Amino acid sequence: MKKKGTKRLVMLSALTMSVMALSCSAAADDDYAGTIYLAGIAPLTGSYASWGEGAVNAYNLAIQEVNAAGGVTIDGESYKLESAVFADDKSDATEAVSAYNNCASYDISALIGSCASSCTLSFVEAAQEAGILVVTPYSTNATICKTGDYIFRECFSDADQGPTLAKLATEEFSAKNIAVVAAEDSDYCAGLAEAMEAALDDISDVTYEHYGCVTTDTDYTAQISKAIEQGADVIIYPNNYDTVPNFVRQARDAGFEGPILGGDAWDGTDVTGYESKFDNCYYLAHVDLSADTEAVQSYVSAYRDAYGEDGLNAVSSLYYDTVKMLVQAMEEANSYDPAVLKDTLLSMEYESMGGTISYDENGDAQKPFTIETFEDGALTYYGSF
């Protein structure tokens, strides 16, 4: 009997303590005038889960930092910033729709996501109709922001990235004969290649050949031998980072020594074991995480302290910047109503890690391009456009 009594006492005190803990956090919430909810989408599992890993960490880090600095100030009152949900789209367009539905079931001020353009494209129309403010941190497909006035992005658009890639090839590397190898089963890869080729069409005395591939390919020897036969002086490979080591290695083994250029999805490429093959490779990036600026350094050290090295890449920095930019928009607008925020974003400027962002009338971010290259395999800043 005595034993049972002790057990009861322990349970009772545990209950009291948890009630106390609850009331404590409630007391902390009372300091705020209210709570503002955000939601996020990223691929937490699936082929591109390493994007999602950094994304969710950086998103949470930014929210913690905002609250630690006193929350969001609206009309002189302080609001707590909270994540309603962070959903997984598995880099799959169908999954992205259910992830969106999950997010849309909450009363959120903005939805931050997703990574793959195919995923973001799958829900932006529904978001526009429902009046949900979407800011995609990493989807560059040119058509996304044209969906409507509630759709924005933190990254550059392929409508800008394509011509910049063409400019990089023709101006920086004086390419006259270009081979393009792009995946045809991805909205991102195909869209970027299309925008770039449209820009190449307008440049005189440059020829190019387009070779298709698939995102799950590992063997590119066919496309590479055709590029070499064509006499290409530059190869442009605007595909995702997981396929880059195979492509670069096979191109170098086949005897192609010229520059190989890529788009922003090269971010996260593993070069281990094949460092020398990555000489003379360049890609357009949103941010240079080795930059010596205050913003980048403080982000990198805060991320490292909280989560270590895993997922610390450009994608994560974009999710972080998106949260911070939305907070700035709320404070400038003195509102967290999406209908107000969408107008504020159009007129504001935000200092991101990758440079100043402003918006055109579509909601496409105007921001500088960073060019990254590899030196003995180490990611190195090459220049900017």
Q: Is 49 an interacting residue with respect to another protein (CB under 8 A)?
A: yes
Choose the binding region for another protein from 46-54, 73-81, 116-124, 297-305 (rule: CB under 8 A). 46-54
Indicate which single residue of 23, 64, 94, 216 sits in contact with another protein (rule: CB under 8 A).
216
x/- string (CB under 8 A) for another protein, residues 289-318? ---------------------x--------
Q: Is 274 an interacting residue with respect to another protein (CB under 8 A)?
A: yes
Distance of closest approach, residue 241 Cβ to another protein, in angstroms? 7
Indicate which single residue of 117, 141, 223, 317 sits in contact with another protein (rule: CB under 8 A).
223
Task: Determine which helix (DSSP H) or strand (DSSP E) holds 267, and give its type and residue range.
Answer: none
Distance of closest approach, residue 240 Cβ to another protein, in angstroms? 9
Strands in 68-200 per DSSP E? 72-74, 77-88, 110-112, 134-136, 151-153, 177-183
Distance of closest approach, residue 222 Cβ to another protein, in angstroms? 3
Q: What residues contact 376, with CB distance under 8 A and at least 6 apart?
A: 275, 276
Question: Encoding tokens for residue 33?
Answer: 């005038």
Distance of closest approach, residue 49 Cβ to another protein, in angstroms? 3
Burial of 182 (0-12, 13-18, 19+ CB in 10 A): buried
Estimate to the nearest angstrom the gap between the alpha carbon of 376 and the chain centroid. Answer: 26
Question: Measuring CA to CA, how many Å separate 379 from each of 280, 315, 353?
Answer: 12, 15, 17
Cα separation of 208 and 233, whole Å?
10
Q: Is 339 an interacting residue with respect to another protein (CB under 8 A)?
A: no
Strands in 167-309 per DSSP E? 177-183, 207-213, 234-236, 260-262, 281-285
Indicate which single residue of 208, 211, 237, 350 sits in contact with another protein (rule: CB under 8 A).
211
Distance of closest approach, residue 242 Cβ to another protein, in angstroms? 4
Q: Is 266 an interacting residue with respect to another protein (CB under 8 A)?
A: no
x/- string (CB under 8 A) for another protein, residues 157-196? --------------------------xxx-----------
Contacts 24+ apart (CB under 8 A), 376-381: 376/275, 376/276, 377/271, 377/272, 377/274, 377/275, 377/276, 377/278, 379/289, 379/290, 380/290, 381/288, 381/290, 381/291
Nearer CB in complex with another protein: 73/230: 230
Q: What are the backbone angles phi and psi of residue 146, rounded to the nearest 5°?
A: -75, -10
Distance of closest approach, residue 339 Cβ to another protein, in angstroms? 37
| Bridging pattern class, strands 234-236 and 207-213 | unpaired
Distance of closest approach, residue 237 Cβ to another protein, in angstroms? 13
Among positions 226-265, residues that touch another protein (CB under 8 A) are 226, 229, 241-243, 245-246, 249, 253-255
- Bridge partners (DSSP) of residue 41 are 87
Indicate which single residue of 29, 171, 270, 343 sits in contact with another protein (rule: CB under 8 A).
270
Q: Is 89 an interacting residue with respect to another protein (CB under 8 A)?
A: no
Q: What residues contact 11, with CB distance under 8 A and at least 6 apart?
A: none
Indicate which single residue of 25, 272, 292, 294 sits in contact with another protein (rule: CB under 8 A).
272
Residue 178 and residue 158 in contact, taking contact as beta carbons nearer than 8 Å: no
Distance of closest approach, residue 47 Cβ to another protein, in angstroms? 6
Q: Is 47 an interacting residue with respect to another protein (CB under 8 A)?
A: yes
- The single-letter code of the amino acid at 125 is E
Using alpha carbons, select from 120, 228, 244 the residue that is nearest to residue 182.
244
Question: Encoding tokens for residue 13?
Answer: 């005190």
Q: How many CB atoms lie within 10 A of CB 130?
A: 13
x/- string (CB under 8 A) for another protein, residues 124-163? ----------------------------------------
Cα separation of 119 and 188, whole Å?
10
Nearer CB in complex with another protein: 37/274: 274
* Residues binding another protein (CB under 8 A): 45-50, 53, 183-185, 211-214, 216, 218-219, 221-223, 225-226, 229, 241-243, 245-246, 249, 253-255, 268, 270-274, 310
